Amino acid sequence: MLFSERSIWTMVHGIGLGGGALIGLAAALFYLYAARSSDGAAALPGSRALAGATVLSAVLLWLTVIVGTYVIFPPYRVTPPAGVTDLSEFPRALVLASPSTAWLHSFAMESKEHMPWIASMLTTAVAFIAVRYRSRVLQNSSLRSLSMALLAISFALVAFVSLMGMFVNKVAPLD
């Protein structure tokens, strides 16, 4: 069924929250990049917009992680009862049943269990810096570079985890 409760939660988790977080991270990265200047002075005003983008990204990432950990992952890992041959209701068992897809659990799902937490923490650190040191983030090249590096790492982690989630959902969707 296309619109079961589990599939709706999966869409909210991946497309709504995760996609929104990726867009927010991209916006914050672009703003930090655009705010640099060759003479060391801030090229653009508006530290409030940067703070808003990073806080929104951090909130969306934390919501994504919490929904993924406590709503999406438990139905994925349910063990099928003995004697069940139709594994379509048991995504983890379905993924592990074929040698060609077993890597999705051992690599993709293991990555998805840990990397989003790291991305959320890094983005929260940048959000704190952007809120606490408002205009200094844009004026201080070291602080701006650090913020850009942390956001770039977060973006890469979230994009990778999203790709892995699409692979797993293609093989064993939560219906």
State residue 123's pLDDT score. Answer: 97
Residue 93, phi then psi, degrees to nearest 5: -65, -35
Q: How far is CA 51 from the centre of its chain?
A: 19
| Phi, psi torsion values for 174, nearest 5 degrees | -85, 95
Task: Give mean pLDDT, residues 57-68.
Answer: 96
* Stated pTM of the model: 0.88
Radius of gyration of the chain measured on its C-alpha atoms:
19
What is the mean pLDDT of the segment spanning 79-100?
87
Distance CA 8, CA 1 (A): 10
Cβ neighbour number for residue 50 with a 10 Å cutoff: 26
Task: Give kind and range of the element (H or E) at residue 145.
Answer: helix 141-171
CA distance linking residue 20 with residue 156, whole number of Å: 15
Q: pLDDT confidence of 41, banded at 50, 70, 90? A: low
61 pLDDT more than 60: yes
175/124 Cα distance (integer angstroms): 32
